[in-house]
Amino acid sequence: MKLPGDIEDQGPTRGGLVAAQVRGVAARARWIEEGLVVSGPQLAQAWGISQETLATATASGEVVSIAIDGSEYFPKALMSLDRLTAGAICRALRKLQDTEKLMFWLRDHGALGGRSVAAALEAGTPTVKVTALAEAWARARTEGSTWMDGRPDAMCD
């Protein structure tokens, strides 16, 4: 599945690991350009909290972030949620790598009617269903599970 900001894989002839790293850097830059991620000050302002409070929440796993060029960025979707809802979902993703956490927020999920997390919540999907999906997503990636035909979001279909 191609996500916003993805770069087409040119296969093994592109230099393997180095090419993958270059694609990763370009994708991260595109996330910023396309507004898929926002800076810490933007999120803190949207939530009406200090940057120190946001940094504490990030360090504790209450908020998903990704470091890009030495700065912390957050999924733009978080700006449309209240802190309690965002925290419940983000905590379910704690054990994942930052990029995996971000992918959960960026992609459309079959279990959410083909919508992103933010769109599904806005459409009235219960937070508990989204949190269960986040837990399944994290489990599938940390346990190497292939349950449900390798589709962690099949649990909530």
Judge whether 8 lies within some domain: no
> Is 151 part of any domain?
yes
Residue 45: domain span: 35-156
Q: Average pLDDT for residues 82-100, to the nearest whole number?
A: 94
The model's pLDDT over 26-75, given as tens digits with 9 standing for 90+, comes to: 888 888 899 999 999 999 999 999 999 999 999 998 999 999 988 999 99
pLDDT grade for 143, boundaries at 50, 70 and 90: confident
Q: How many domains does the chain have?
A: 1
Full DSSP string of the chain? -PPTT------GGG-THHHHHHHHHHHHHHHHHTTSEEEHHHHHHHHT--HHHHHHHHHTTSS--EEETTEEEEEGGGGGS-HHHHHHHHHHTTTS-HHHHHHHHHS-BGGGTTB-HHHHHHTT--HHHHHHHHHHHHHHHHS---GGGG-GGGGG-
Within a domain: 3 = no
**Domain annotation covers residue 26:** no
| Residue 16 is assigned to a structural domain of this protein | no
